[in-house]
């Protein structure tokens, strides 16, 4: 393209390239291209001097040499937006990975957008219902705000996220944007195929930057997903569910980019700009007076250490934190949500009502007492407890079993049909267990069911 501002490559250090532009210095965040077919893509990261810029590669730089020509496009990285993007799978450059045919009427937007101004924001006390008992009762998610699913490797974050997509699409017919940051390559293909088979894909957009891609691409895919979500919220006037799997990989990609740029590492080796980079992304997730973006983010916790700087910085942005426990997963209690450490600002009498609040607090009280008595039971046996404590322990174990739920997205693995449980049915079930209506039932009668009435069917079938 002859109109583009041309420069040349000065140095190549892996994913970091220095380039000289003698005519006009490109602006920060501009998209720069190189190679015969402009197949190499870079983003301007910083200005070195009056003619030199530092670029971060978003594609692999193999074959790039000193003195090679390089071009400034004059624009940021652009991504397609609007209704025609629904049902498709994209990469960070806006390439459709399912249908490569370019459409003439595609609307493009820069991945770098300013957050909604404070005056245009709105906050409501509306609850985002998921159909998952443990979440809706113990940690109701706020509509138009951010919630995190915290857990180490293999405790069920991705399964929970896919279940949320499934339930949202079927129940509310809302739009979902799924952003995969640095996750396994097979997960993208599996998720797309699964969503297509269940018919959920029609109201969803998938955008991925996989584990095998350069850190620059993984660092920018979150911004691209937000641009798509903002357009659906502001122009199409729709409520959007933005799912990010995994926000820790965004921080990790930022750390890699920071290291490549030669910045001095901060605490535990993270980048010194961790807080500002995360805030820049999270601030764009908000509600306007007409529509909202609700974000649910999976957060990998390195070595199950919740004091890790990545986890502590993410906590501060969230309105609800759902903690997934390895111990619960090992006991077969799925979803492996830790009810005692899971919190939500929505669990407030004024918002959820007195009945819901009291039931949630009573569940937590019973489970907390059981937790305290576990050591005594292990050493002396349950018979040594007082009658009151023994009743509490048996009740808590039933509550634990009732907090489990079969998922639609795991039907093919478990052979159990998924359940979507309405909030009223969940509250009713927990209330009846707390009132000892199921005192004579076996714990297994309450395990992996939806409504509490299924326990009666199971009991009758077993008798």
* pLDDT at residue 98, rounded to an integer: 86
Q: Tokens 């407030």 map to which residue?
A: 348
Q: Give the dihedral sign, CA 189/191/193/196.
A: negative
* pLDDT at residue 240, rounded to an integer: 92
Q: Who's near 125: CB < 8 A, 6+ residues apart?
A: 142, 346, 350, 351
pLDDT digits (tens, 9 = 90+) for 144-175: 999 999 988 889 898 898 898 888 877 777 78
> Which is catalytic among the residues 183, 213, 230, 277?
183
Reduced to 3 states, what is the DSSP secondary structure of residue 439? coil
Reply yes or no on whether 157 is catalytic.
yes
Reduced to 3 states, what is the DSSP secondary structure of residue 258? helix
The neighbouring-strand residues paired with 12 are 17
pTM to 2 decimal places: 0.92
Reply yes or no on whether 170 is catalytic.
no
> Which is catalytic among the residues 109, 133, 146, 157?
157
CB 134, CB 403: distance < 8 Å = yes
Q: Give the dihedral sign, CA 227/228/229/234.
A: positive
**Cα gap 94→224, rounded to integer Å:** 8
> Which is catalytic among the residues 184, 193, 267, 349?
184
**Cα gap 455→442, rounded to integer Å:** 9
Q: Pick from 256, 275, 165: which is nearest to 209 by CA?
A: 256
Report residues of the chain scoring pLDDT below 50.
1
Q: Give the dihedral sign, CA 341/448/422/282.
A: positive
pLDDT digits (tens, 9 = 90+) for 35-87: 999 999 999 999 999 999 999 999 999 999 999 999 999 999 999 999 999 99
Q: Where are the alpha helices (DSSP H) in 353-451?
A: 354-380, 387-402, 411-414, 423-434
Reply yes or no on whether 417 is catalytic.
no
* pLDDT at residue 1, rounded to an integer: 45
């Amino acid at each position: 393209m002859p109109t583009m501002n041309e420069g040349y490559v000065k140095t190549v250090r892996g994913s970091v390239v220095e380039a000289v532009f003698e005519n006009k210095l490109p602006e920060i965040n501009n998209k720069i291209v190189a190679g015969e077919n402009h197949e190499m893509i870079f983003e301007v990261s910083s200005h070195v001097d009056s003619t030199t810029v530092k670029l971060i590669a978003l594609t692999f730089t193999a074959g790039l040499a000193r003195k090679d020509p390089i071009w400034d496009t004059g624009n940021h990285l652009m991504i397609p937006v609007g209704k025609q993007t629904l049902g498709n799978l994209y990469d960070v450059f806006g390439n459709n990975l399912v249908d490569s045919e370019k459409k003439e009427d595609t609307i493009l937007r820069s991945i770098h957008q300013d957050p909604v101004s404070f005056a245009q924001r709105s906050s409501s006390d509306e609850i985002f219902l998921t159909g998952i008992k443990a979440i809706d009762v113990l940690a109701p998610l706020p509509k138009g705000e951010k919630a995190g699913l915290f857990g180490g490797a293999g405790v069920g974050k991705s399964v929970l996220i896919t279940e949320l997509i499934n339930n949202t699409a079927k129940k509310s017919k809302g739009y979902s944007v799924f952003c995969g940051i640095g996750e396994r390559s097979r997960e993208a293909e599996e998720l797309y195929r699964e969503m297509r088979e269940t018919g959920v894909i029609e109201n969803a957009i998938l955008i991925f930057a996989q584990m095998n891609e350069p850190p620059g691409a993984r660092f920018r895919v979150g911004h691209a997903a937000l641009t798509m979500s903002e357009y659906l919220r502001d122009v199409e006037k729709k409520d959007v569910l933005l799912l990010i799997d995994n926000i820790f990989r965004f921080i990790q990609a930022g750390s890699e980019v920071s290291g490549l740029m030669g910045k001095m590492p901060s605490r535990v080796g993270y980048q010194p700009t961790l807080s500002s980079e995360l805030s820049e992304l999270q601030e764009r997730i908000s509600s306007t007076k007409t529509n909202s973006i609700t974000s649910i983010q999976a957060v990998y916790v390195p070595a199950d250490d919740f004091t890790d700087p990545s986890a502590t910085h993410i906590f501060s942005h969230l309105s609800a934190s759902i903690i997934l426990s390895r111990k619960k997963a090992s006991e077969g209690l799925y979803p492996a949500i830790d009810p005692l450490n899971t919190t939500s600002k929505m669990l407030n009498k004024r918002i959820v009502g007195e009945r819901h609040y009291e039931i949630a607090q009573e569940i937590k009280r019973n489970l907390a007492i059981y937790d305290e008595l576990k050591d005594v039971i292990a050493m002396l046996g349950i018979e040594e407890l007082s009658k009151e404590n023994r009743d509490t322990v048996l009740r808590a174990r039933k509550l634990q079993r009732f907090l489990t739920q079969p998922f639609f997205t795991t039907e093919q693995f478990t052979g159990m049909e998924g359940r979507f449980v309405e909030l009223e049915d969940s509250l009713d079930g927990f209330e009846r267990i707390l009132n000892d209506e199921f005192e004579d039932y076996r714990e297994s009668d309450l395990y992996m069911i939806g409504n509490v009435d299924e326990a009666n069917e199971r009991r009758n079938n077993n008798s």
